[in-house]
Amino acid sequence: MIIQDAKRILELLKQIRVLDEAMAELAEQSEMARRLSTIPGFGKTSIAELAGEIGTLNRFACEASLALYLGMSPLTHQSGQMSRARVPRQVNRRCKAAMMTAVARHIGCVPQSRMYYDRKRGQGKMHNQAIRALGRHMVRVIWSMLKNERDYELRGDCPVT
């Protein structure tokens, strides 16, 4: 039984490689995927998922609606001393997972993003909350990149605020 499981795992890994190659070929044809690939830490799978699920920016009125769709802006309900957040219905769960993964990897590549993440953690935010806060900032960057048709630029003198 162990040998059968090992063979099945090897078959699945081969299928994953084939799918990754096909996804990379399709992503090369997309201008959005090409621009997203300039962001450090954003992997091929996350880029392909984001570009495929977003489609076109014409679907979104502003960057806030894109952030809502990507799951980077939770809805908060406050009344008096009660405060809670909930996940909006408009969130694309696949996009949110891809964005969370990409942003978590982005932290390791860009020192300014690491400083922002550390500052949020220092403010008492949990890991996922800090990642989502940085993700919200990254949505602003992505929106600007795609609207202005520019690639990602890393500036050494400009920390993320």
Q: Which tens digits make up the pLDDT trace of 85-99?
A: 666 677 888 999 999
Residue 84 has pLDDT above 80, yes or no: no
Q: What is the rounded average pLDDT for all residues in the chain?
A: 88
- pLDDT over threshold 50, residue 161: no
Q: Any idea where the domains of the chain sit in the sequence?
A: 2-147
Query: 23-44, pLDDT tens digit by residue?
Result: 888 888 889 999 999 999 998 8
Interaxial angle between packed helices 44-54 and 2-28, expressed in degrees from 0 to 180 and rounded to the nearest 10: 60
* pTM, to two decimals: 0.78
Closest CA to 50 of 89, 16, 100: 100
Q: Give me the residue label for tokens 């769709």.
A: 69
Count of beta carbons in the 10 Å neighbourhood of residue 91: 17
User: Which residue intervals of the chain are DSSP H helices?
Assistant: 2-28, 31-36, 44-54, 63-70, 93-107, 111-122, 127-147
